[in-house]
Structure 1
Amino acid sequence: MAAIAGCSGSDGGSGGSDGSSDGGDDSSSDGSSDGGGGSSYDGQELNVLTWGGYEGVSQMVEDMGASTNLKLISSDKEGFNTLQGGGASQFDVLVLDNQWAQRNAKADTIVPLRREEYPAAQEGTIIEKFNWPYQTFGFDGEQWAIAPRWGWEGMGYNDDEVELADLESEGYAAIWDGDYKAMAADAPTSVIPLVMQQIFDLDENPMAIEVSDSRLETLEETLVEMFNSVEAVHQGAAALRQAMLEGNAEIVLGVGNFELSQLAAEGFDWAKVIAPPEAGGWFWTEGLCLVNNPDLNRDLANEFINACLSPEGQRSICWDGESKGAPANTAAFDAFSEEEQKTIMMYKDKGFEAADEILSGLDQYLISPQQEQWTEIWERAKARSDL
């Protein structure tokens, strides 16, 4: 999940790198290696266009005898443009986020999936919210992706310094009410949906609708108030994590379990995330796709996808990186210890058993039809504020 830079970026991606410049183990360079083994895939090659975090699964496929090449992307837009620009003939698998499955399907850069090729889909072990057929990955009556991992966004907080009951009562208004030291991500498409969930009585996902000019004006005034109240805004998740570590921020807006899980993994179990019950939050899902390559090695590509969905693969993509994602396949839950589950979820000291509880209060991340206006409002509010 490219959090701040991707998930919150102008292209509406979410993906599997942190998006911050903190030198994590997800590099932006190509990784390729030759596999050994003695399977039927000896001498075959798989090319994957992906976020970081899939190196372990790549090794699993190499153990079958194939060679794998990972081309890492920093945004969904980059992946889309790569395939549209003639790259489809160079790749077999694409890892993307959310609505980018539909965008790629409409652009004919990926091909439909067949449910019978994926045991996790057939057996119904994918989390119900994401299980086949999953609307976000659907287009023209077909499924174009299957989910390997997900995460959720709301408000991060220091459980040692903040009363959870206060945040549950105040919601995101706690960011601009001044009772706690607050910071925000400099990420309009991440933060604005949360602010809208707080200040408007909406019956729909704020990212799925167009709101009136008067509501956009109210949004801008609220953002000015927020910018006047916070200690700072930061483009990268690393800066927000550091601010929490140094005690300069007790609550942070526009980040979630993926961005803050590094703190929990390093033993700072006071780091938690909340989606206030009255306001809610949003969630993202990655998707595994088959590229519309005329020479697609479908069998080998599906070996990679099914390896991602296996307990071993789920553990690798969700735990091995510095930032932790949540597994989409419930059959893999037991591959994680109770403490590891809590580290990933960052929710009230609960593990994966809380997935349905969390998701029930969240909206699917979408690319807003008013995204350009949101960005303009964000920049105008910053300029008007004392920040």
Structure 2
Amino acid sequence: MPMRKLAALLQVGTLTFMSVALTPAQAQARETLYLFNWSEYMDPEIISEFEARYDVDVVQSYFGTIGELYARLQAGGDSQFDVIVPSNYYVPRLVNAGLVQPLDKDKLPHLDNLMPRFSDPDYDPDGRYSVAYQWGTTGIVYDTRAFPDAPESWSLLFDADQNPDQPFAIQGDGNVMVGAACAYLGHGYDCADRESWLEAGKLLLETRGRSNFTGFVDGTPVLQQLARGINRVGVSFNGDFLNARNEDPAGFEHLAYMIPQEGAELWVDSMMIPKNAPHPDLAHKFIDFILEPEIGARLSNWTYYSTPNQAALALLDDELRESPSQPSEEEMARLHALPSLDGAELAAFQQLWNEVRSR
């Protein structure tokens, strides 16, 4: 879901470096795993270790939005990639479209390391098609100097009396923002009925019409704007916030992350194997490799996001064992997954969001 760690861009284009020169015979003998992932979402050292352990190469390609991933698979990508990393609300859609294959759990001996909440998720009963990779939350980042007594509420965005003049931005992801508007209106973050969407759409149109609205700015860019004072409120992800704060402590000294009381998003990014993956056995090896406790902890320590791996928790950096990386029980009670939409419901939602964006 998020975009992070510029160090990953030191890899050449979408390909990882090969550590040694191979003869033609060696190159032909080596298998290649094709990974399609979010940008800056994988520790390069983990890739190198997997390559060395199994004497294979890994070719990484990146997508910037979940829609881009879906379109690529529909255009033949289901036979080009071995492992993909979609967000939870797209998992049922990929399954229903016949773009992914069931997992062979006999080839995943470390599967029991998953926390119970990720072993049988609503979006993929019994984890038949997906294995959780990382998870996190979507919340509000705000400047504590502008809002010294800020309520834990979406009102920082949606209430003109609460925020009459401080510049703010909202995300370009309609699922996130309609959910936020629904939550603020009392319909729940996971609202999925058209009447609630229409009310949310009206609120979003009113919000974007205010003089201190600065535009649709996604999670990573808005953090940079907040650090520079261009915006005072924005919507971002907990891991991106922690990463940016560690890289720029001075710029984030007066910034805080919060999960609104009305409800916010808990998202899960999962590993799946496309329907016609060229190397499904190698794909299972890679998924199981990520499920190893040490590897799972190293991944989270690099991304700053939460691990779904129970066995990895003891190996996490201290910062990742507390909020906002690990929400408290009270914060967890506020979090909800976005509904998965398809068919007529998806078309209606997209029409609503297009109207919000275009007016």
Q: TM-score range by the shorter chain?
A: 0.7 to 0.9
| Aligned counterparts of 2:60 and 2:87: Cα–Cα separation in 1 | 17
In structure 2, list runs of 5 or more residues that go unmatched: 21-28
Q: Report the counterpart of residue 61 of structure 1 in structure 2.
A: 50
Query: Map of 1:219-298 to 2, 5 A cutoff?
Result: 219-221=201-203, 223-225=205-207, 227-228=209-210, 230-252=212-234, 254-266=235-247, 267=249, 268=252, 270-277=254-261, 279-293=262-276, 295-298=278-281
Contact 2:85 2:270 survives alignment (8 Å): yes
Q: Deviations over 1:215-264 (max 9, x none)?
A: 72574145314541534124343442233223343322x32213423332
Match of 1:364 among 333, 337, 347: 337
Query: Map of 1:1-387 to 2, 5 A cutoff?
Result: 1-2=1-2, 17=3, 24-27=6-9, 29-34=13-18, 43-52=30-39, 53-54=41-42, 55-64=44-53, 65-122=55-112, 125-130=113-118, 132-138=119-125, 143-159=128-144, 161-163=146-148, 166-168=150-152, 171-175=153-157, 176-180=159-163, 181-187=166-172, 188-199=174-185, 201-202=186-187, 205-206=190-191, 208-211=192-195, 216-217=198-199, 219-221=201-203, 223-225=205-207, 227-228=209-210, 230-252=212-234, 254-266=235-247, 267=249, 268=252, 270-277=254-261, 279-293=262-276, 295-298=278-281, 300-321=282-303, 324-342=304-322, 345=323, 347=324, 352=326, 354=327, 356-368=329-341, 369=345, 370-379=348-357, 383=359
Identity %: 17
Letter in 1 for 2:81: F
Letter in 2 for 1:29: G
Residues 182/256 of structure 1: CA separation in 2 closer, same or farther (3 Å cut): farther
Residue 179 of structure 1 deviates from its aligned partner by 4.2
Residues 318/230 of structure 1: CA separation in 2 closer, same or farther (3 Å cut): farther
| Aligned counterparts of 2:278 and 2:204: Cα–Cα separation in 1 | 52
Residue 145 of structure 1 deviates from its aligned partner by 0.5
DSSP 3-state at the match of 2:194? coil
Letter in 1 for 2:178: I
Q: Deviations over 1:178-222 (max 9, x none)?
A: 4442412242332221011101x326721x33226xx72574145
Aligned length: 334
| Aligned counterparts of 1:318 and 1:245: Cα–Cα separation in 2 | 24
Q: Deviations over 1:42-74 (max 9, x none)?
A: 822212122232233321211212111112222
| Aligned counterparts of 1:204 and 1:151: Cα–Cα separation in 2 | 15
Letter in 2 for 1:97: S
| Aligned counterparts of 1:74 and 1:29: Cα–Cα separation in 2 | 14
Q: Deviations over 1:140-184 (max 9, x none)?
A: x761111010111121123455345x413xx21232334442412
Q: Deviations over 1:258-312 (max 9, x none)?
A: 34233322223543322222x11112111101222365341x2222112222333
Residues 297/216 of structure 1: CA separation in 2 closer, same or farther (3 Å cut): closer
| Aligned counterparts of 1:31 and 1:355: Cα–Cα separation in 2 | 38
Contact 1:182 1:250 survives alignment (8 Å): yes
| Aligned counterparts of 1:47 and 1:185: Cα–Cα separation in 2 | 34
| Aligned counterparts of 1:314 and 1:270: Cα–Cα separation in 2 | 31
42-51 vs 155-164, which deviates more? 155-164
Contact 1:153 1:283 survives alignment (8 Å): yes
Residue 136 of structure 1 deviates from its aligned partner by 1.1
In structure 1, list runs of 5 or more residues that go unmatched: 3-16, 37-41
TM-score by length of 1: 0.75
TM-score by length of 2: 0.80
